[in-house]
Amino acid sequence: MQAQQLPYEFFSEENAPKWRGLLVPALKKVQGQVHPTLESNDDALQYVEELILQLLNMLCQAQPRSASDVEERVQKSFPHPIDKWAIADAQSAIEKRKRRNPLSLPVEKIHPLLKEVLGYKIDHQVSVYIVAVLEYISADILKLVGNYVRNIRHYEITKQDIKVAMCADKVLMDMFHQDVEDINILSLTDEEPSTSGEQTYYDLVKAFMAEIRQYIRELNLIIKVFREPFVSNSKLFSANDVENIFSRIVDIHELSVKLLGHIEDTVEMTDEGSPHPLVGSCFEDLAESIGEGFKEAVQYVLPRLLLAPVYHCLHYFELLKQLEEKSEDQEDKECLKQAITALLNVQSGMEKICSKSLAKRRLSESACRFYSQQMKGKQLAIKKMNEIQKNIDGWEGKDIGQCCNEFIMEGTLTRVGAKHERHIFLFDGLMICCKSNHGQPRLPGASNAEYRLKEKFFMRKVQINDKDDTNEYKHAFEIILKDENSVIFSAKSAEEKNNWMAALISLQYRSTLERMLDVTMLQEEKEEQMRLPSADVYRFAEPDSEENIIFEENMQPKAGIPIIKAGTVIKLIERLTYHMYADPNFVRTFLTTYRSFCKPQELLSLIIERFEIPEPEPTEADRIAIENGDQPLSAELKRFRKEYIQPVQLRVLNVCRHWVEHHFYDFERDAYLLQRMEEFIGTVRGKAMKKWVESITKIIQRKKIARDNGPGHNITFQSSPPTVEWHISRPGHIETFDLLTLHPIEIARQLTLLESDLYRCIVETENLEERVAVVSRIIEILQVFQELNNFNGVLEVVSAMNSSPVYRLDHTFEQIPSRQKKILEEAHELSEDHYKKYLAKLRSINPPCVPFFGIYLTNILKTEEGNPEVLKRHGKELINFSKRRKVAEITGEIQQYQNQPYCLRVESDIKRFFENLNPMGNSMEKEFTDYLFNKSLEIEPRNPKPLPRFPKKYSYPLKSPGVRPSNPRPGTMRHPTPLQQEPRKISYSRIPESETESTASAPNSPRTPLTPPPASGASSTTDVCSVFDSDHSSPFHSSRCKNSKCIKVFVSTIHARGKKESLLFFCMCELVVKSNAISKDNIIKI
């Protein structure tokens, strides 16, 4: 019988590292989608990740095996109506997945981990369904928190903001904290300065703008969520019913939007030198121009919402007086005074009506409001909650301020079945029932608290139920607990009951109604097409078609952004600065590759043209309305400016910033281009653009200084570089430098610092013992290359060892210690199976490193030659941007390893020695290759009887100093990271040629060719020069090296397959013969 699987612990010591940080990058994208203008810190995203993993754990506890199982779990576990929306998103994701339109969260990474979580493999579609649900909830959390952060006029989402906002949202609290008694919200008393001090004129304006935005959202709730069902059900409600209930709420909404637009425009156009925006004229112009639970929400919440415009209008009158008192500008003061005068009749009339039927209340009172007013100040709310708590005797548990955000109302209710009345304090998170202490005898030293705690209810764990009047109680409502027990309270009058029910139902259904509003408004935005300028006057407004732009069909766009396959220059510029979304990857790719189809001057002209956006012309109906004195375009124009002009212009500036920051060489080559850019930036106006203009200007000035003065940045390392290692040769004695006299550590270090263009110094030797020492020393250098993450050097050594003249030296390799053979074999495995192990190791190490450059150049060559420059559609040529993207991806991969330098000292003598070596002289590659192979045959002939003996050439000891630094420091050198132990696919053990002596006319093995390898077709034209010394009878004589005969050990930076791909030839030297050095002055670079 199989043992039952233990529950999977996401946050255990073993499993946490697998999940930690997995979702954070994707959550940042989701946050950018729901609130593009806000930022979120890492702690906040990590906290959301924890919540999502908690939710994933809940979904996996049901052991789902199909999408329907997940759907059933969601329906049972998620509050209504968020379950319905999450399921709809998940089903949509499965359908879109078939068309390769993915989610932001990493399905491909989560899918294999789910097998470990569940203990069995599930279908990929089930993983997509689960991840879609998780993404919907993460977006819902981030949208809720973003709204809260914007309300308190902050610009960054923090972990604390998430906790506070979620505490006020019953739906999310039910989902994530079903079994928790209370949630600790961190104390906010030290976060913000007190708002009780005197406010300035500008403070009043900013606060009012925040209030009116929230008020407009409240009006939208009335119109979109409540009024719409009345209008759409004409059989149930007549037009007269709708008019009687909602009156002129649409006109109020229009007026409020217009007022907000005027104030925003005034603030935007305020001169920088002005002390504050003068908003008085805005008021003067307007003054002169005078589901589940839905039934309960309509019955109790809607009447209070319909009173909001009344209280808000009364608030206008008070605000006007405050602005007049604070204004320092005489003209603005006069405008405000005129507005107050013009509105006096309206004010007096409203106050007269209110005095008869309504208690005049300030907007700041919570009982008549649907939305919480967190922007009013956390300090005041916490102060109020602390005062109430101190006045309650017998309080236990966490402070009120730790589980509530605001105080709603208080009053007296009768608990049915109890003898005494209860004094109730209602908060957004708690309902506290107290008994009055008045009239009871008190012992000496007893508390002076006015109330004694009887019971408290967490609002997220109760349901509110309306009760009809009976003989036992009247004006009552019921509070139903999670355990299905209930408590009934009755009020003294119907009006009091309505007040309590309005507050309680608002708290219970606020988050649900807000989500209904968001869904409705999002749908309306999709249905309403924004009017753009004519394509005749603005080329970038031309509609998309197959004749001007093509998108990738088989690629997965990130965050819902389509990937461009091809397009005209105009369409590419349009998408580069698109109004609906930002695409940083496209910006990087475009600026890296645009020169293949557009000149820098043309690009600057196009983005300036893109920046200068004309407004759409009015329609015939609009012209008639304008002639009649109306302004039908005002709302539409405001939307066009906000949703099209502003985003496009900001993205144009973003492109300019990236251009001057990362591609300033365009401007260094063309002074007029730089002049035009500076002139354009100088003409940009607007507060929203100010920081971008300042940033671009600073970058240009910094680049100019760097261009004039040369690179001036100093690199600071955590520790000082290691000391230079010396072996036999000493500083300054360059004439003694060769492979065996220099320290292998320092050879590897200095070659690595020379961008790892491997030029090896090889000593001259025909003697077997010396030759073995040379090979052994080169393998030691390879070890140090591994230590330094110099993969270019490692693979160059491997390529050299595999060259025909070296690979056939069986007797030499037989003398190599087995430990070094193993190191060489492991290094060789890096290049096997299309460099699979090399790529895996490259991704696993930390910089600095020198990647193998050959892969990149090979890929670029294949991309350039294998893809057309343009794609033809309907007879028109579109720029093949897919090809540019592939090249940019390759160059981007190269650049990601360029930021971290090596913490090593340059030893100038050794560096100069390597730079000046040139073993090839003026020889052609074929001559050089033939010479190497002939020397290889000379020192180790085929089937020798016996092996020729050669005298030693050098008197110094051949023993290696090893690869350990003489003064090791922590972190200076590491043991090479071994590759995973797998069956070897290659072995360097040699088959003696004597075993096949009878077949001398044919190659004894593929590794011992009888003839030198053919010369590359490109070798005769190579401009890679090398110098080596040899004896004067050698065709490779050079006078640069006075004491030895040298040959180059040169390994190509490019180790590619095929004729044309082998851009640089490689060969080895000295292992074969007499060598001393290697060097290369010119190397192909991107």
Q: Tens digit of pLDDT for each residue in 890-940? A: 777 777 776 677 788 877 787 777 777 666 667 777 777 787 788 888 888
Residue 415 amino acid letter: R
pLDDT tens, residue by residue, 566-599? 899 999 999 999 988 888 888 988 998 888 889 9
- Report the pLDDT value the prediction gives residue 1039, as an integer from 0 to 100: 31
User: Cα–Cα distance between 281 and 275 in angstroms, integer?
Assistant: 17
User: Cα–Cα distance between 563 and 974 in angstroms, integer?
Assistant: 43
User: Cα–Cα distance between 903 and 973 in angstroms, integer?
Assistant: 12
Find the mean pLDDT for residues 266-272. Answer: 56
Tokens of 1052: 């190509």
User: Cα–Cα distance between 744 and 760 in angstroms, integer?
Assistant: 11
pLDDT tens, residue by residue, 776-813? 888 888 888 888 888 888 888 888 888 888 888 888 88
Tokens of 958: 């051949």
Among 114-123, 264-273, 776-785, the minimum mean pLDDT is found in 264-273
* Confidence grade of residue 207 (pLDDT, cut at 50, 70, 90): confident
Highest mean pLDDT among 635-639, 983-987, 1039-1043: 635-639
Judge whether residue 1018 has pLDDT over 50.
Answer: no
Among 191-205, 241-255, 257-271, 809-823, the minimum mean pLDDT is found in 191-205
Q: Which fold has domain 375-438+448-526?
A: PH-domain like (2.30.29)
* Confidence grade of residue 509 (pLDDT, cut at 50, 70, 90): confident
* Confidence grade of residue 1044 (pLDDT, cut at 50, 70, 90): very low
- Report the pLDDT value the prediction gives residue 413, as an integer from 0 to 100: 92
Residue 926 amino acid letter: K
Place of tokens 């030290």: 190
Specify the 3-state DSSP secondary structure of 106: coil
Number of C-alpha atoms within 13 angstroms, CB side, residue 785?
A: 30
CATH H superfamily, domain 738-851+897-1050: Ras guanine-nucleotide exchange factors catalytic domain (1.10.840.10)
What are the distances in angstroms from CA 108 to CA 68, 131, 132, 179? 21, 10, 13, 32
Place of tokens 């507050």: 503
User: Cα–Cα distance between 914 and 1079 in angstroms, integer?
Assistant: 6
The pTM (predicted TM-score) of the whole model is 0.48
Judge whether residue 67 has pLDDT over 70.
Answer: yes
289 or 541: which leads in pLDDT: 541
Residue 530 contacts residue 515 (beta carbons within 8 Å): no
- Report the pLDDT value the prediction gives residue 162, as an integer from 0 to 100: 84
User: Cα–Cα distance between 259 and 286 in angstroms, integer?
Assistant: 7
User: Cα–Cα distance between 681 and 263 in angstroms, integer?
Assistant: 27
Specify the 3-state DSSP secondary structure of 74: helix
Find the mean pLDDT for residues 392-397. Answer: 85
User: Cα–Cα distance between 740 and 482 in angstroms, integer?
Assistant: 83
Among 560-574, 606-620, 947-961, the minimum mean pLDDT is found in 947-961
User: Cα–Cα distance between 573 and 603 in angstroms, integer?
Assistant: 8
Judge whether residue 29 has pLDDT over 90.
Answer: no
Find the mean pLDDT for residues 149-176. Answer: 75
Which DSSP category does 1048 fall into?
Answer: B
Judge whether residue 986 has pLDDT over 50.
Answer: no
For residue 1015, the Cα-to-chain-centroid distance in whole angstroms is 50
Judge whether residue 1077 has pLDDT over 60.
Answer: no
> By C-alpha distance, which of 731, 734, 738, 793 is closest to 761?
738
Residue 423 contacts residue 495 (beta carbons within 8 Å): no
User: Cα–Cα distance between 1086 and 1080 in angstroms, integer?
Assistant: 17
> By C-alpha distance, which of 400, 349, 388, 337 is closest to 184?
400
> By C-alpha distance, which of 911, 928, 898 is closest to 1020?
928
- Report the pLDDT value the prediction gives residue 445, as an integer from 0 to 100: 55
Among 263-277, 380-394, 741-755, 827-841, the minimum mean pLDDT is found in 263-277
Backbone angles phi, psi at 392, to 5 degrees: -115, 120
Which stretches of 437-555 are assigned E, i.e. beta strand?
451-458, 462-466, 476-481, 486-490, 549-551
Place of tokens 């989402």: 157
491 or 280: which leads in pLDDT: 491
482 or 59: which leads in pLDDT: 59
CATH class of the domain whose range is 532-616+631-708+853-896: mainly alpha
- Report the pLDDT value the prediction gives residue 559, as an integer from 0 to 100: 52
CATH H superfamily, domain 201-357: Dbl homology (DH) domain (1.20.900.10)
DSSP one-letter string for 762-806: --B--SHHHHHHHHHHHHHHHHHHHHTTBHHHHHHHHHHHTSHHH
- Report the pLDDT value the prediction gives residue 1060, as an integer from 0 to 100: 25
- Report the pLDDT value the prediction gives residue 605, as an integer from 0 to 100: 95
Question: What integer best gives the mean pLDDT of the chain?
Answer: 73
Residue 532 contacts residue 543 (beta carbons within 8 Å): no
Among 59-63, 93-97, 544-548, 912-916, the minimum mean pLDDT is found in 93-97
**Boundaries of every domain in the chain:** 16-176, 201-357, 375-438+448-526, 532-616+631-708+853-896, 738-851+897-1050
Among 707-716, 849-858, 1011-1020, the minimum mean pLDDT is found in 1011-1020
- Report the pLDDT value the prediction gives residue 371, as an integer from 0 to 100: 47
Q: Is the dihedral of CA 495, 497, 498, 499 positive or negative?
A: positive
- Report the pLDDT value the prediction gives residue 718, as an integer from 0 to 100: 59
Candidates 1.10.275.30, 1.20.120.1200, 1.10.20.10, 1.20.1250.20; CATH matching 16-176: 1.10.20.10
Judge whether residue 252 has pLDDT over 90.
Answer: no
> By C-alpha distance, which of 63, 75, 77, 175 is closest to 126?
63
pLDDT tens, residue by residue, 434-476? 988 876 655 555 567 888 888 888 887 788 888 888 888 888 9
